[in-house]
Structure 1
Amino acid sequence: MKTNKLQTLSEFKDEFYGNIGTEKRTALEEGYQEFKLGALIHEARIEKGLTQEQLAEKCGTTKSYISKIENNVKEVRFSTLQKIVESGLGGKLELNIKL
């Protein structure tokens, strides 16, 4: 049976980009502010072989709204994100807050 090893974002960055202060990690951290949720939705939609219109239909929204989210024109509410991920993409949305 295959097991999934979950990692925190910090663990992932340490493993693939090195420790804080290294050149590769610094480049990542500087570009991290430009990271947007829309890119993740876009990649997942393409991986599933869906058009924006098909994704919108599956999750009960419009193609225009999906486009705006993917292009970072519009922020997405958590409840809408959950519909996109679960109903539209067939995935599971998990939120993890560490203090």
Structure 2
Amino acid sequence: MKNNTLTLDQFKDKHYGEIGTLKRDKLEEGYENFKIGSLIHEARLVKGMTQEELAQKVGTTKSYISKIENNIKEVRLSTLKKIVEMGLGGELDLSIKF
């Protein structure tokens, strides 16, 4: 019996092209934005906060927090820093990988 199972990277290569192609880069960028929203959502729930409470701490609106969490709006780095540090009481850790 032939195994037709692909790894996630193989699937992305096959359907979106290799890393560095426009279609693949758009996919990866979209995933990063989705991941940021998901991380904010999860951290907010762990802290027992509503979107409204987080928005008040950061000085923005519930609607904006919702849009970030649901991958409708990209978050600016300065706003992400406020959300993590002021709103959630955390520390933003960024890295550059090659």
Q: Count the aligned residue pairs.
A: 75
Structure 2 residue runs of 5 or longer lacking an equivalent are 13-26
Q: Does 1:54 align with 2:78?
A: no
Deviations 1:56-93 (A, max 9, x none): 00111100000000010000000000000000000000
Amino acid at match of 2:84: V
Q: Does 1:87 align with 2:76?
A: no
Deviation at 1:94, TM superposition (A): 1.2
- Structure exhibiting the larger radius of gyration computed from Cα positions: 2
CA RMSD of aligned residues (A): 2.1
Q: What residue in structure 1 maps to residue 67 of structure 2?
A: 68
Deviations 1:33-56 (A, max 9, x none): 463111111000000000000000
Q: TM-score, normalised by structure 2?
A: 0.68
Q: TM-score, normalised by structure 1?
A: 0.67
Q: Does 1:41 align with 2:35?
A: no
Structure 1 residue ranges, 4+ long, deviating more than 3 angstroms after superposition: 29-35
Residue pairs, 1:19-30, within 5 angstroms: 26-27=7-8, 29=9
User: Secondary structure of 2:68's match?
Assistant: helix
Identity of aligned residues (%): 64
